[in-house]
Chain A
Amino acid sequence: MLGRKEALAILLDQIGESPVIHCNGYISRESFALSDRPQNFYMIGSMGMASSIGLGVALAQPNQRVIIFDGDGNVLMNLGALATIGATRRENLYHIVFDNGAYASTGYQTTLSDRVPLEKVAQAAGYRMIYEAENPEALTTAVSNMFQKMGPGFLLVRIDPHQEDNQFGRITHTPEEIAERFMLHFGN
């Protein structure tokens, strides 16, 4: 099964200089550990908000490709934002969801994503493209195809819920630093 680290590595290889809004939890921490960039926005709280924030960035910067790295628990918590994104139909927004079916950083309690197909919710909400991937080859192809087309795109990446997550710690930047350097990337 595809691991989160491997999935992140494949994605980081294809995103170029694009800003990425990361949801809270191990997605932020592992991305920070793998490849920290000023245009990575890491959330340490406000669970569920990566999607809404990503939409806001995409609206403010219509000429930039804006990417969200989200989690199934986060998406479920702010499911309504799929509607806001679907309705607004932002062409430069790409929503990538790491679905491990669990709330990893609180002890791997299960989420509802095995019973509620998030990609179907996104499709019904109006996302232009829906992709799914659960192995490295499929992920590489899906990302490459998705980025060539107009968004909003939704890519559900099924990843292994069994992970050794105690190997990386919290993000060392302060929240203020994270926001400041992210904004500087756009020249603000």
Chain B
Amino acid sequence: MVSAEIFVKHLEENGFNFFSGVPCSLFCGAIQILEARNDLPYISAVREDDALGVASGAYLGGKQPAILIQNSGLGNCLNVITSLNMIYKIPVLIIMTWRGFEGVDAPEHIVMGKGMERLLADIGLPYRILAPESINEEFRWAVGVIRREKVPPVLLLKKGVLC
């Protein structure tokens, strides 16, 4: 496991400087840390597409944003991802928790938990799974995708990585 403090430190060291999202307990305190930033604290959005929209606006205004959401919110984001981010080339990092991994979780997470990777592949979003020992490398990968392809990279956060 990696502490939320180290997670946020790697995130900021890799140049991410604007944050929004809708919480998941698997973020284990990372959102609260980002909310306490002096400069541009995390913006609590009302829904995941709102978070992605705000982050996209921040990118247009010169920031390098990331959103923190649960995978139950991926469906809410699809229209913004497909008709804004991917076609206007607005690359916002999407850090998404993986509820329903391998079909094990509360009922509301099972369908998305099992289908999520296919869904990401079907719309063409590059993604990787975060591991505690390689957090920094995954953030560096995301920065590379942002620079080269200008589409939103997705980093999947499973239970047990932060807590």
Q: Does B45 contact A (CB under 8 A)?
A: yes
A60/B53 in contact, CB under 8 A: no
> B15 to chain A: closest CB distance in Å?
14
Q: Which residues of chain B come closer than 8 Å to A175, judged between CB atoms? A: 87-89
Which of A1-9, A42-50, A94-102 touches B? A42-50
A81 at the interface (CB under 8 A from B): yes
**Contacting pair A60 B62 (CB below 8 A):** yes
Interface residues of A in 86-121 (CB under 8 A from B): 87-88
Across the interface, do A56 and B88 meet the contact criterion of CB distance under 8 Å?
no
Interface residues of B in 49-68 (CB under 8 A from A): 49-50, 52-63, 65
In the complex, identify which listed stretch (B1-9, B76-84, B115-123, B132-140) lies at the interface while the others stay far away.
B76-84
| A183 at the B interface (CB under 8 A) | yes
Please count how many residues in chain B sit with their CB below 8 Å of the partner chain's CB atoms. 32
B36 contacts chain A at the CB level, 8 A cutoff: no
Residue A46 contacts which of B20, B43, B47, B83 (CB distance < 8 angstroms)?
A: B83
Partner of A43, one of B46, B58, B84: B84
**Of A44, A51, A81, A180, which is within 8 A of B83 by CB?**
A44
The reply to whether A46 and B60 contact each other, CB–CB distance below 8 Å, is no
Distance in angstroms between the alpha carbons of A41 and B61 in the assembled complex: 11
Q: Which residues of A contact B88 (CB under 8 A)?
A: 175-176, 178-179
Q: Which residue of B lies closest to A24 (CB)?
A: B83
> Are B60 and A41 closer than 8 Å at their CB atoms?
yes
A-B contact pairs, 5 of them (CB 8 A): A53-B60, A56-B55, A59-B57, A60-B40, A175-B89
Smallest CB-CB A-B distances: 8 pairs: A56-B57, A60-B61, A52-B53, A45-B83, A80-B46, A53-B57, A46-B84, A56-B58
